[in-house]
Amino acid sequence: SVWIAQALLFLLFLGFIAFLGYCLYIKHIHMKYDHIPGPPRDSFIFGHSPTFLRMMKKDEIIHDAFLEWVEKYGPVCRINVLHYIVMIVTCPEATKEILMSPKYPKDKMYCVPCLLSRFLGYGLVTAYDHEKWYKQRRIMDPAFSSLYLRGLMGTFNERAEKLMNKLSDIADNKTEANMLQLVNCVTLDVIAKVAFGVDLDLLHCMYIWCKYCSNRPFINEVKEACRLLRTTGAQWIHQRKTAMQNGDDVPKDILTQIIKSAEDEELMLDNFVTFFIAGQETTANQLAFCIMELARHPDILEKVTKEVDDVIGMKQEISYDDLGQLIYLSQVLKETLRIYPTAPGTSRDVLEDMVIDGIHVPGGFTCMFSSYVTGRLDKFFKDPLKFDPDRFHPDAPKPYYCYYPFALGPRACLGQNFAQMEAKVVMAKLLQRYDFSLLPGQTFDILDTGTLRPKSGVVCSVRHRNYK
């Protein structure tokens, strides 16, 4: 027993020495970076993380804190979390230099397991090693070529048409429409079909699906989602690999490219989950925010509806060429992403010393770029909270490295054209056929669950349009 007591004392002593060493290291980090403006730390050890935890508990948006700090402390703002240093950077020149260059890798924190389950892993969005990322990206590129995207118009039209049929039932029965749930079903249907060759037809069983997804404890829901997505992915990958080995004709879709891009099954699953999430949730959230803003701005709604009438008329099938003529609708969708960037930020590790906006920043920090922050700064966008699609008029000055809802440079979103084509088809059909208005009693608050979405779900009354 004396020996055990001595061993415990020795372990406590070692723990104390390790803790003291860590505190000295944190002090060294503070001295190295404290010349850079930033808010006061909540804690010597934990830095600003208590603020973030408080905001998360209250369902507040962390990017709102970033915005407040940037307005107060300037275009380079320091944040401390343990021994990590994060710089929120809004300076366009530094944004251009870092995001447009392949030499600054993605932040390693992207690869942290999601509540101890592997989630995105080392897929295209999160891959840290540039060479490994480049190899994957090169193989995936053909699945997003202009020629391939043109061939998806039939699926975009068909799935959007199912939503129109659902809305017709809602209009006839005078029931309310939760637009976020509805567009989620459509975008899930689209990505499952065009990327993985699977028919889900979620609009048929959406209420069972929504009931299953709601009222579940958040952590359990995330863990279950991780497990379900990766299990489903493993099944679909196995079926496709078997078909390929048997010499069957298989579509040259995203799933085929995923299988070609990696020999390791875990990496295939990483990319499966990446495309499933990136190809569905962000587009659905953008559509919901767009519907919400149009319902709040009848003049803009009238203008974009007139454009759809002029370009599409009464025809049911929207062509690829039609999309190019829906210029004002493009402006509306871009302005939606300025105020509500559904994937609000990206980050890069900077290992070397840099001068950002005249401030010397020693290497070894993470650069955080928030399109949410830059999109709401008055110095970049006058009257930033005003919804004004004319900011993106073809003749208006182009935003200079302060608008990047799909990131920028070599790591920019591979599927951005896919997403905007899909969004245009859904919005054009909706505007062509229906009038919609927001039901009273909703908030316009934003929920941050990694991606940004409307908190109230955008609940609308829907009516068939009265053509004159």
Q: What is the pLDDT of residues 167-188, one digit of tens each?
A: 999 999 999 999 999 998 899 8
Tell me which architecture the domain covering 136-355+411-464 has in CATH. Answer: Orthogonal Bundle (1.10)
| Encoded tokens for 156 | 């975009």
DSSP letters, 248-282, are: -----SHHHHHHHH-SSHHHHHHHHHHHHHHTTHH
- Classified as helix, coil or strand, 85 is strand
What integer pLDDT is reported at residue 108 of this predicted model? 66
Which of 98-102, 128-132, 418-422 has the weakest average pLDDT? Answer: 128-132
**Alpha-carbon span 374 to 371, nearest angstrom:** 5
Helix axes 265-278, 281-296, angle to 10 degrees: 10
Residue 86 has pLDDT above 90, yes or no: yes
What integer pLDDT is reported at residue 215 of this predicted model? 38
If you average pLDDT over residues 41-69, what whole number do you get? 91
For residue 191, the surrounding DSSP H or E stretch is helix 179-196
Amino acid in the structure at residue 246: N
| Encoded tokens for 8 | 């415990």
What integer pLDDT is reported at residue 394 of this predicted model? 93
The Cβ of residue 124 has, within 10 Å, a number of other Cβ atoms equal to: 21
If you average pLDDT over residues 301-311, what whole number do you get? 96
Which of 140-149, 211-220, 238-247, 439-448 has the weakest average pLDDT? Answer: 211-220
**Alpha-carbon span 318 to 73, nearest angstrom:** 48
| Encoded tokens for 433 | 């056929």
Residue 413 known to bind ligand:
yes
CA 402 to chain CA mean position, Å = 17
What integer pLDDT is reported at residue 214 of this predicted model? 43
**Residue 127, beta-bridge partner list:** none
Q: How confident is the model at residue 252 (pLDDT cuts 50, 70, 90)?
A: confident
Contact status, residue 306 vs residue 292, Cβ threshold 8 Å: no
If you average pLDDT over residues 430-448, what whole number do you get? 92
Q: pLDDT digits over 375-405, tens only?
A: 999 999 999 999 999 999 999 998 899 999 9
What integer pLDDT is reported at residue 256 of this predicted model? 80
DSSP letters, 202-254, are: TTTSHHHHHHHHTTS-HHHHHHHHHHHHHHHHHHHHHHHHHHHHTT-----SH
What integer pLDDT is reported at residue 353 of this predicted model? 94
DSSP code at position 437 = E
Which of 86-100, 137-151, 166-180 has the weakest average pLDDT? Answer: 137-151
**Alpha-carbon span 138 to 31, nearest angstrom:** 43
Contact status, residue 389 vs residue 332, Cβ threshold 8 Å: yes
Read off the pTM: 0.87
Q: How confident is the model at residue 441 (pLDDT cuts 50, 70, 90)?
A: confident
Contact status, residue 121 vs residue 266, Cβ threshold 8 Å: yes
What is the separation, in whole angstroms, between the first and last Cα of the chain? Answer: 93
